Structure 1
Amino acid sequence: MKVRIWFKGASGNRLAVDLSGAGSAPTVVLLHGGGQTRHSWARAHQILAEKGYRAVSVDARGHGESDWVEDGDYSLEAQVADLLAVIKALGGSPPALVGASMGGTHSLVACGRYPDIAKALVLVDVTPRLEPQGIEHILGFMTQHPDGFASLEQAAEVVGAYNPNRPPPSDLSGLAKNLRQRDNGRWYWHWDPRFIAGNHLEKVAHISQTMAAAAATIQIPTLLVRGRQSDVVSPEGVEELRHMLPLAFVDIEGAGHMVAGDKNDRFNAAIIDFLREHHPLPQEQQTDTGL
């Protein structure tokens, strides 16, 4: 059964977490991209729990139901500190980390700086080389419609225009989890606008440099799942990362930057195969050793 619980981040901020599975099972922590929420992992979370893992989906600070921090600190360093706080609160053996875009950045940097915090790492369409046109595409989407939407249907049309790889949803309840309806009747994205404040070029340069430095120190098994139609991660970016760390790689046809949402079944199959090898369930460990 999935339960919603609260953890404390590095600043004493509340982090909303969905948790499923036994406490003794191998843990997989799912970290969403910028502007998303933990609900973007709904199907992957369910599949991992059904397979026998302890699945943990986290709303990053300033996103979803997690606190908007008073000082507006949404820096890479603050987000990594939150991730460390979550891992400490979970206890037990080190988890596997699965991070999409922003969540992958935090996971990569955390694993590079603190080698023992995770058993395996899955990066979802993110590398130290971030293609400028893809970043501008994301920022353009996140900063348009500051006055919100008249309806969920209008918001769905905007999402469809941004992401043509994915068919429009027939059920808007999932989209509604990323928006909040205010007293004026309009719907607004539910993340702190200060999250994308400041000089974007400087931020991206800092993130890329920090990721590259961290990648050079990582020794744990790492999988990169790329959407073949992604405008954020290029083949050149993949090759650069291959030279930085031991890397397994899956390129998913028909998926863009939002890989898990675009081709969910293929994405789930890829990460389950990787986790079975590098973060196995107890019965699989017994099979591997011939017990």
Structure 2
Amino acid sequence: MTTFTASAPPPGARAYQLRTDRGDFAVVDAPAVPGIEQRGVALLLPGFTGSKEDFHRMHEPLAERGYRSIALDGRGQHESDGPAEDESAYAQGELARDVLAQAAALGSPLHLVGHSLGGQIARAAVLLDHSPFVSLTLIASGPAQISDSQQQRVKLLHDALAVMTMAEVWEAILAMGPPEEVGGPARGYGRVEQLRQRWLAHKPAQLLATGRQLCVEPNRVSELAAVPLPFHVLSGARDDTWPVTVLDDMAVQLRAHRTVVPSAEHSPNLDQPLPTAHALAGFWDKAGTAP
């Protein structure tokens, strides 16, 4: 397993391994600020090549609004273990069942949040069993497969992983200028060396399987619309993975609350963490605390 020196958790948060009946998952768990009304608990799922650190700058403002927030690395991501070569372990249904196991281990009704790929995994979990959840927020996560341009980038990654080491692929990604869904945004996360170490910690099979999922995901919005949960579709003002107009249409179909974060692109949680956190908290305030 690749050694990774993670950045320190945000103030008041702690990092640990969450034990579930489907294995252990690395989490950053930030409690609500003591002395104020405790309003709920949120589970935050990162995107493709992402990690729990992508939500670091949102924990504190969420805590100040009364929300405990738990961000995690999914199976085979960063500091959560998983098989290096068995792609079947990363089928969407398996990852969705992981989310239900995480919810069971946390033991609280949860506001579920997924960024990009994490949003599609969150959707799959809710379609399996919505009962642990109070609401679902999709951050820059569209109704079906990613855009043609991003599919080409994922194909390049797939081809590269077939003939190159993870370290060699990282150097190639940097040479291209890392796109959001392939290389991970450098801004807001830390030094390039930290990003490199995070990349090296990912399991190749996880990248191959989830990259393929992003390219073939069917449109399941009609199924999701039948689930009795409040929905929130949040995005930046620009997005080259799912066009903002596509996200607008999805929100209409879901009768979802819609937030567009100014001056943000595919990762509003990194680009504009404070307004993104406030938008989440505002939605949760209205959604309530009971499933």
User: Greater Rg, structure 1 or structure 2?
Assistant: 1
Map of 2:6 onto structure 1 = none
1:21 equivalent in alignment to 2:36: no
Q: Does structure 2 retain, via aligned residues, the 8 Å contact 1:64–1:178?
A: no
d(CA) in 2 for partners of 1:218, 1:212: 10
Map of 1:39 onto structure 2 = 53
Describe how 1:1-291 pairs up with structure 2 within 5 A: 1-9=12-20, 12-21=22-31, 26-69=40-83, 71-72=86-87, 73-92=89-108, 94-136=109-151, 139=154, 142=157, 146-147=164-165, 162=179, 169=187, 172-173=190-191, 175-180=192-197, 188-197=199-208, 204-205=215-216, 207-209=217-219, 211-212=220-221, 214-279=223-288
Q: Does structure 1 retain, via aligned residues, the 8 Å contact 2:49–2:207?
A: no
TM-score (norm 2): 0.77
Q: Aligned residues: percent identity? A: 20
Structure 2 runs not aligned, ≥5 long: 1-11
How many residues are paired up?
266
Map of 1:284 onto structure 2 = none
Structure 1 runs not aligned, ≥5 long: 181-186, 282-291
d(CA) in 2 for partners of 1:264, 1:168: 15
Larger RCO: Structure 1 or Structure 2 (Cα < 8 Å, ≥ 6 residues apart)? 2
Q: Deviations over 1:139-188 (max 9, x none)?
A: 268556955669x9x7996585535xx99659844x544432xxxxxx95
Q: Deviations over 1:66-114 (max 9, x none)?
A: 002364411110110110011000113x110111011111112222331
TM-score (norm 1): 0.77
Once the two structures are TM-superposed, the CA of residue 276 in structure 1 deviates from its matched residue by: 2.0
Q: Does structure 1 retain, via aligned residues, the 8 Å contact 2:18–2:27?
A: yes
d(CA) in 1 for partners of 2:287, 2:210: 39
CA RMSD of aligned residues (A): 3.5
Once the two structures are TM-superposed, the CA of residue 227 in structure 1 deviates from its matched residue by: 2.1
Once the two structures are TM-superposed, the CA of residue 50 in structure 1 deviates from its matched residue by: 2.8
Moved over 4 A (4+): 22-25, 140-150, 154-161, 166-171, 198-203
Once the two structures are TM-superposed, the CA of residue 279 in structure 1 deviates from its matched residue by: 3.6
Q: Does structure 2 retain, via aligned residues, the 8 Å contact 1:215–1:245?
A: yes
Segment of structure 1 superposing worse, 59-68 or 239-248:
239-248
